[in-house]
Amino acid sequence: MATNLKNLSSYCPNQIPSVKGVKFGIVVSEWNEEITNALYKGAKETLLKHEACEEDIVTIRVPGSFELTSGAHLLVERTDVDAVICLGCVIKGETPHFDFICQGVSYGISQLNLRYNIPFIFGVLTTMNQQQALDRAGGKHGNKGNEAAISAIKMCEIIWRLKK
């Protein structure tokens, strides 16, 4: 569904389980920092709203969106997180750089999902301009950070159900 048809922050809170005791990793790109800080704030607030403890949220910052994959890999190799949320923002410019970064990050995160038995969430905005990014980082279309946190919670819930 196109983002302009759905608010990224909309969900039914009473259908989301408590995540008390669940450990989350959040990897945040420093590039487009105004946007990624807003995504981070949305993700963290959503996790805390659903009873995650502050000390159960491990955050690392990486230089850019391309480094999200490496940062997520390092995080899962050196901590005991149950899920990793990758937050970044790539805005199309005048060169094909946008395409290479977006392809590399999406492929890298999908490979991490296949390699490890925990969810890695793609919370990366890929927009045509700054305004579209702002609209999706707490603006008129909600916050992709909220959506990424809810996705992480839901994926953890699926794992718990399958283990029973």
50 carries an active-site annotation? no
What is the residue whose two structure tokens read 């050196």? 78
Per-residue burial over 50-86, b = 16 or more CB atoms within 10 Å of its CB, e = otherwise: bebeeebbbeebbebbbbbbebbbebbeeeebbbbbb
Nearest to 97 by CA among 65, 71, 144: 65
The DSSP 8-state label assigned to residue 148 in this structure reads H
The β-bridge partners of 126 are 90
- Catalytic choice (50, 73, 97, 141): 97
Most distant pair of Cα atoms in the chain: their distance: 51
Helix (H) or strand (E) holding 159: helix 144-163
Task: Tell me how far apart the alpha carbons of residues 144 and 90 are, in angstroms, rounded to a whole number.
Answer: 13
Catalytically annotated residues: 97
